[in-house]
Amino acid sequence: MSNLKITDIKSFFCGNYPFIKVYTNEGITGIGENFVHHKGILSGQLEYLRNMLIGEDPFGIEHLWVKLYSHIRLAYSMAMISGVDMALWDIKAKKLGVPVYELLGGLFRSKIRVYPHLRGTWNSFPDAKADNMFSEPWGAVKYSPEQLGEHARELVREGYTAIKFDPFEPGVDGYHGYRPSEIEAAVERVAAIRKAVGDDVDLLVECHGKFNAGMAIKIGKKLEPYNLMWLEEPVPGGLIQSMKRVADHVNIPIALGERFFSKWELKEYLEQGIVDVMMFDVGKIGGLTEAMKVCAMCEAYQVKVAPHNPFGPVTAIASVHLAAAVSSFLILEHEELAPWAVTPQIRIVDGYIELPSTPGFGVDLNEEEIAKHQAKIEDGTYKIPFRDTQILYPTL
């Protein structure tokens, strides 16, 4: 243990990016991020966290994780734990004068392969018109298969070797009820993207849990010829037997896990051999402490890990340190959303993130930039897009 004591926790809210900072009596600080996008809820959570953590030794990460988990167990609450947990690892590594990955087992790899999302499909991607704070709302612009192929070529020209996209436009009858023409339209998008980038680029198809087992199998069989890296979450998380039906009938690796909030949720998937790639989110699963345990579980079943990460740069850099230290890592989801929120900014070269070598995470919050962008939200300069309804439900 150490002589450090936690003295305060503060939030730096900016649009969709709730960053936190943990302070200590020696002036060493740690940064974290979660996905609680409601400013009022975040404020209340921080007050709760202060009551539990002020005066504690930040070196006791496992002890503090269990303390928090024993009181807090729902989704937003796991995000609270995750953000604080990241910050504690950052503090400890800074105090010891080493990068975080050294505390997670040491350097296993020095470059972290990443994949972005494809513009024009039902995924987020940074929109320069809004300072990379927000994405173009899903489905707001209708792109032809050929246009999607050109968007994919642009990413390959930037150096990326893997691309993820959701090709499934909401059906007339809603999800689960796709008509034959709608299925064929999704397959045409995949075919055009594969043709555009060739056979050496990995394509990852995201389903966002929209289908039941029968529809997922029907669609998955049609996608088999396109040599996908994985088919992601074809049925909702928690439907273990439905997911097993899909895995047993579709000859594409299955990826899932972005909606998991603890290691216990993935146990049966591993035991039944349902999953090939586990996509837990460091910002939801309980931070690096829980993520390390998940990685060890996956390693025992020869399941690769590919952290889910469509959020801000703090969750991204925490995921990078994890990826650098664990042998089961495959690839990292990464969008350059709000890149200015940390300094120095995360650097991508030829589809890889290069590891920082300075103590802690190697980045800190750029509080001035965060405040500047949040002011633009509060004065109406930026409009936060609301996109969920148009994705989940058909037009009446």
The confidence score (pLDDT) of residue 389 equals 34
| Tens digits of residue pLDDT in 166-221 | 999 877 776 667 889 999 999 999 999 999 999 999 999 999 888 999 999 999 99
Measured CA to CA, the distance from residue 216 to residue 114 in angstroms comes to: 26
Residue 127 has pLDDT above 50, yes or no: yes
Q: What is the pLDDT of residue 390?
A: 35
Q: Which domains does the chain have, with CATH numbers?
A: 102-361 (3.20.20.120)
Task: Specify the pLDDT at position 29.
Answer: 96
- 254 pLDDT higher than 70: yes
Residue 242: pLDDT band with limits 50, 70, 90: very high
Read off the pLDDT band of 223 (50, 70, 90): very high
pLDDT score, position 382: 77
Mean pLDDT rounded to a whole number for the chain: 89
- What pLDDT, on a 0 to 100 scale, did the predictor assign at position 66? 76
- The pLDDT score that the predictor gives to residue 341 is 95
Of 87-91, 129-133, 278-282, 326-330, the least confident = 129-133
User: Has residue 387 got a pLDDT over 50?
Assistant: no
Q: What do you get for the CA distance between the two ends of the chain, in Å?
A: 60
Distance between CA 389 and CA 393 in Å, rounded?
A: 6
Res 79: pLDDT: 80
Confidence of residue 339 (pLDDT cuts 50, 70, 90): very high
- Predicted confidence at residue 388, as pLDDT, reads 40
Residue with tokens 């974290």: 32
pTM of the predicted model as reported, rounded to 2 decimal places: 0.83
Average pLDDT estimate for 250-277? 93
Mean pLDDT of 262-269: 89
Residues with a known catalytic role? 208, 308
Confidence of residue 78 (pLDDT cuts 50, 70, 90): confident
Instruction: Answer yes or no: is pLDDT of 323 > 80.
Output: yes
Name the residue with higher pLDDT: 18 or 359. 359
> Do the Cβ atoms of 274 and 248 come closer than 8 Å?
no
Average pLDDT over residues 151-155: 97
Average pLDDT over residues 322-340: 95
Average pLDDT over residues 264-279: 94
Question: What average pLDDT does range 141-145 have in this prediction?
Answer: 89
Q: What is the mean pLDDT of residues 137-158?
A: 90
